[in-house]
Amino acid sequence: MKKIVLFMLLVIVIMSVVGCSQPDADKKAMVIVSFGTSYADTRELTIAATEDVFREEFGSYDIYRAFTSQTIIDILEERDNIKVNNVREVMELLTKEKYGEVVVQPLHVMNGAEYDEMSSIIKEYEGNFNEVKIGKALLSSVADYEKTVEALATQFPETKDGEAIVFMGHGTHHDANAVYGTLEYVFHANGYKNVFVGTVEGYPTLDNVINELEENNINKVTLMPLMIVAGDHAHNDMAGDEEDSWKVRLKEQGYEVETYLHGIGENEEIRKIYLTHAKKAIEGENE
Amino acid sequence: MIKKYAIKTWMEIGFIIIITLFIARPWIEKGLNRITIFDTKDYEIDFVDDSGYRIRMKKPADSVISLYSAHTENLFAIGADREVIGVGTHSIYPYEVLLKEKYDYRSDPEKVIAIHPDVVIIRPFIERHSPDFVNSLRRSGITVVSLYPDNFDEFDDYIMKLAKIVGKENTAKKKLEGFHKELDNLKVKNIDENKRVGVYFESSDREYKTITNNSMPAYAIELAGGINIATDAIPIEEGSSIAAYGVEKILEKADEIDVYVTQRGVMGAGGNYHSISIRPGFYAIKAVRNKRILEINQKIISSPTFRFIKGVKQLRRTFYPEIYDEIQEFDEDHLITREEFAKILVKLNHDVIFIPTSSYYRDDNKEHYYGALVDVTIEHESFDYIETAIRKSYLKSEIIDNEEYFNPEKYVTREELARVIYLLNDLENKIDIIINDEENIENIKIVKTIVSNKLMDLENGKFYPKRNITFEELKKGLDL
């Protein structure tokens, strides 16, 4: 009898321990991951505004924010007393909170180095949840390119002959750098002949873009960032007034230059693409 | 039994002594350095450094590794460029240091030990940050000198210690004399009390820190004729030049702040123009409303170097542009040189003088590098104006046989003026006019637009792009 009682007690203890560490199937979290920015104004207009759209669309999910740039996380914490989690921290937090389902939607432009790094961190935590799903970056499928082209076209000013739009992308050493050339190709294929895409740190370079501008007898250029936020790159590398900024380099070649200082995170149609990617991830279409 | 007990006790005592000596090794080493009674040799150099070590050297060092950029800069300034055989990873000034071997106190000390320089010069921060690195150097017999002046009053003493190490005392004395004389000349004296500008200096945007009253930036503000509105700031710790202030106190004095100066160039420094102007409540600050926010590189305002003069000059220009950015008048037919042009443009646009940070040289694709001009060295009277004009792309340098030239005495051409007018204005391109000497013009779009907008004229239908410009033409083109 004594043995049976002891055995029953043991079973209860084991069950309760196991029960405690099990995720709660009803708890669902969605993490919106981006590089981050220390500029409060563009952060509100892009990242925070996109999160609001996700909150509206995915009412049953708790929305969490994570940045991939530790430098920006540190600046925000030290300077503004704003705590933002990195990807690892947010996964730890969700584990602690016993979420059953976790959907991670990055606001990256491409499935590049940051996307890979983020995915590998998330994979380490897969066992802690019933389901973990990762949405794709903006430019993943052919349909994404088509939709992105149309989304970006909504922010174009009216252009005449001899006028062009030039996007400034970041550029990367990763294979995914090919997205920039592809995006420009799709712009042209869809009739936006005078739209060109260059990068700060990858290929095509601004020199490549200038060659295209010359070939197409362009006279006036509107510069736009192909980045979620309009942060340092947009303010300095694109629209700054020093010798190496794109604005100055184009002006000294005799181009009229306008600048559009808004991250693509402000573009409602771009946000919709990210929403679609999150939905697809939930439906398991990425697998 | 007694004998056995004694041995054990002695062993224990011996063990304790060995452990104690081992633990106390750094203090013992430091102490031995100060003992002189056992050493009767004559030392030409004998002083106590800022980490408390007694430094004794029989003769000046012939090979020095300087691990702090300000020391490096000052050693070059007093003529010890040959003696400096290695520098820290952040050293970028003067330009010649880029050719020196780099050493990092955050990595293996063996790289330094292998070279065995006569002296390694550090600052107390390095001693605190990397004690193992520094102790390894000391143990290997290298003389390590730790220096850092806490405030401006200690600057001369600090420079003279550096000079002693490398035997350049005469040059250093002259340099200091010239430095103080120049500061005296720079002192803004003739401003009415009611016209003096109120200044807030942001040393860090973390908790809105400012500077103490005896700090170098506070002295610079005073010399430049400004009134520091945060003299009631309390140092974050005794002896520190950083002071706590806080957003409430800044906003309390919003109307007194005519100029908001923010120190840039290192992590954790002040905010930039954009981030300051969008802070909640900051629009109440007069300087923010009037767009009088100055971003200044900490190297010329907080760092103990001779470049402090540049910081004071910049503050004067920002505080009183009507005086210090006044453009020199010339006769109408005076031909403008490139040096004069650079000066006029920087003053006209109130451009902040360009001071690079260490990341600047990481880009190996630049057409021009700060400090690389053969004919405009750091000693050149217009060095800052010329480097800033190049940075702003007003003028270009010329490369001949891998060397960069600015040609300051050359006259400015009409096409160069047209290019600057185009850069400085947002003009609509008008290219439907005919210019008869089009074949001689490098950028026809720019010239046609300038002529169409009547900012420059044609003569008999020709532009004459290579002709030199007079002061009269310049005034018309730039709307002076």
Position A6 pLDDT exceeds 80: no
Of A181-185, A256-260, B186-190, the least confident: B186-190
Residue A1 lies in a domain: no
Asked if residue B224 and residue B165 are part of one domain, the reply reads: no
pLDDT of residue A247: 97
> Can you give the pLDDT at residue B36?
46
Residue A111 has pLDDT above 90, yes or no: yes
For position B120, which CATH number holds?
A: 3.40.50.1980
B202 and B280 share one domain: yes
CATH of the domain at A181: 3.40.50.1400
The pLDDT confidence band at residue A159, using thresholds 50, 70 and 90, is: very high
Contact check, Cβ <8 Å, B429/A220: yes
Q: For chain B, which residues lie within 8 Å of any Cβ of chain A, measuring from their own Cβ? A: 205-206, 268, 271, 274-275, 278-279, 363, 366-368, 390-393, 419, 422-423, 426-429, 431, 443-446, 449
Provide mean pLDDT across the span A264-269: 97
Same domain, A168 and A232: yes
Is residue A204 reached through a cis peptide bond, with omega within 30 degrees of 0 on the bond before it?
yes
Domain span holding position B437: 414-478
A245 is a domain residue = yes
Statement to judge: residues A29 and A132 lie in one domain? yes
Is residue A7 domain-resident?
Answer: no
Whether residues B59 and B123 fall in one domain: yes
| Res B68: pLDDT | 96
In a domain, B73, yes or no: yes
On whether both B163 and B50 belong to a single domain, the answer is yes
* Sign for the pseudo-dihedral over CA of B376, B378, B381, B383: positive
B93 within some domain: yes
- The answer on A171 and A130 residing in a single domain is no
For residue B443, give every residue at least 6 positions away whose Cβ sits within 8 Å of its Cβ, in sequence order, or none.
A253, A254, B415, B419
pLDDT for B43 equals 77
* Domain shared by A112 and A199, yes or no: no
Clarify whether residues B248 and B166 are in a common domain: no
pLDDT of residue A13: 54
For A130-135, what is the mean pLDDT?
Answer: 96
Tell whether A130 and A234 lie within a shared domain.
no
Section A209-224 average pLDDT: 97
Q: Residue A45: inside a domain, yes or no?
A: yes
How large is the average pLDDT for residues B13-28?
73
My answer on whether B6 and B48 are in the same domain is no
- Which residues from A are below 8 Å from B431, CB to CB? 219
For residues A286 and B286, what is the distance between their CA atoms, to the nearest angstrom? 54
ipTM: 0.82
Please tell me whether residues A179 and A237 are part of one structural domain: yes
What local confidence, expressed as pLDDT, does residue B457 receive?
A: 94
> How confident is the model at residue B28, as a pLDDT?
60
Percent of chain B whose predicted confidence (pLDDT) is above 90: 81
Q: Look at A251 and B274 and tell me if their CB atoms are within 8 Å.
A: no
What is the dihedral sign for C-alpha A61, A62, A68, A69? positive
Considering the domain architecture, whether residues A134 and A272 belong to the same structural domain is answered as yes
Question: What is the per-residue pLDDT for B37?
Answer: 47
pLDDT band at B267 (very low <50, low <70, confident <90, very high): confident
**pLDDT tier at B237 (50, 70, 90 boundaries)?**
confident
B427: nearest CA in chain A? A256
In this prediction, residue A4 carries a pLDDT of: 65
Same domain, A72 and A178: no
Domain annotation covers residue B71: yes
A26, A135: one domain: yes
Residue B351 counted as domain residue: no
Query: Is pLDDT at A5 greater than 90 in this prediction?
Result: no
Q: Does residue B124 form part of some domain?
A: yes
Both A25 and A133 in one domain: the answer is: yes
| Model confidence pLDDT, tens digit, residues A34-82 | 999 988 889 999 999 999 999 999 999 999 999 999 999 998 998 888 9
> A248–B393: do the CB atoms touch at under 8 Å?
yes
Structural domain including A26 reads 21-139+268-282
B182 vs B27 pLDDT, higher one: B182
Q: B183, B213 in Cβ contact below 8 A?
A: no
Q: Is residue B112 part of a domain?
A: yes
- Predicted confidence (pLDDT) per residue in B307-353, tens digit: 999 999 999 999 999 999 999 999 999 999 999 999 999 999 999 99
Write the pLDDT tens digit of every residue in B177-215: 999 999 999 999 989 999 999 999 999 988 889 999 999
CA distance A253 to chain B (A): 7
Same domain? A220 vs A249: yes
In chain B, the percentage of residues whose pLDDT exceeds 70 is 95
Q: Are B20 and B141 in the same domain? A: no
CA distances to A200, B107, B135, B145 from B111, rounded to whole Å, are 35, 9, 14, 18
Assess whether pLDDT exceeds 80 at residue B22. no
CA dihedral (B315, B316, B319, B322) positive or negative: negative
Chain A residues with beta carbon closer than 8 angstroms to that of B422: 251-252, 254
Q: Do A251 and B422 touch (CB under 8 A)?
A: yes
> Is a pLDDT exceeding 60 seen at residue B38?
no
B134 and B208 in a common domain: no
Same domain, B202 and B143: no
Tell whether A103 and A175 lie within a shared domain.
no
Which strands sit side by side in the sheet containing A62-67, from one edge to the other? A62-67, A24-34, A99-106, A131-134
Of B310, B325, B350, which one is at a domain's C-terminal end? B310
Residues B14 and B53 in one domain: no
**Is the predicted pLDDT of residue A19 greater than 50, yes or no?**
no
Using CA coordinates, name the residue in chain A closest to B429.
A256
List the single residue in A79, A244, A253 with the smallest CB-CB distance to B205.
A79
CA gap B114, B103 in Å, rounded: 12
Regarding whether B103 and B154 lie in a shared domain, the answer is yes
Asked whether the predicted pLDDT for residue B297 surpasses 50, the reply is yes
**A70-84, A143-157, B281-295, B461-475: lowest mean pLDDT where?**
A70-84
- What per-residue confidence (pLDDT) applies to B15? 80
Helices (H) and strands (E) counted in chain A, each on its own, are 12, 8
- Mean per-residue pLDDT over chain B, rounded: 92
Check pLDDT > 60 for residue A20.
no
Partner residue facing B393 (CB), from A252, A255, A256? A252
Structure confidence at residue B41 (pLDDT): 63
Query: Are B19 and B76 found together in one domain?
Result: no
Proportion of chain A above pLDDT 70, given as a percent: 92
Q: Which of B272, B292, B310 is the last residue of a domain?
A: B310
Cβ B446–A40 below 8 Å, yes or no? no
Whether A195 maps to a domain, the answer reads yes
In the predicted structure, residue A287 carries a pLDDT above the cut 60: no
How many domains, chain B?
4
Residue A3 lies in a domain: no
- Classify residue B237: in a domain, yes or no: yes
Nearest to B201 by CA among B247, B287, B259, B283: B259
**Res B190: pLDDT:** 86
Q: Which tens digit of pLDDT belongs to each residue from B341-386? A: 999 999 999 999 999 998 899 888 888 999 999 999 999 999 999 9
Q: B468 exposed, middle or buried (CB, 10 Å; 0-12, 13-18, 19+)?
A: middle
> How many domains does one find in chain A?
2
List the single residue in A39, A241, A251 with the smallest CB-CB distance to B275.
A39
End residue of a domain, out of B293, B310, B327? B310
Query: Which positions in chain B touch A220 (Cβ < 8 Å)?
Result: 429
Q: How far apart, in whole angstroms, are the C-alpha atoms of residue B9 and residue B451?
A: 101
Cα–Cα dist B97/B298, whole Å: 19
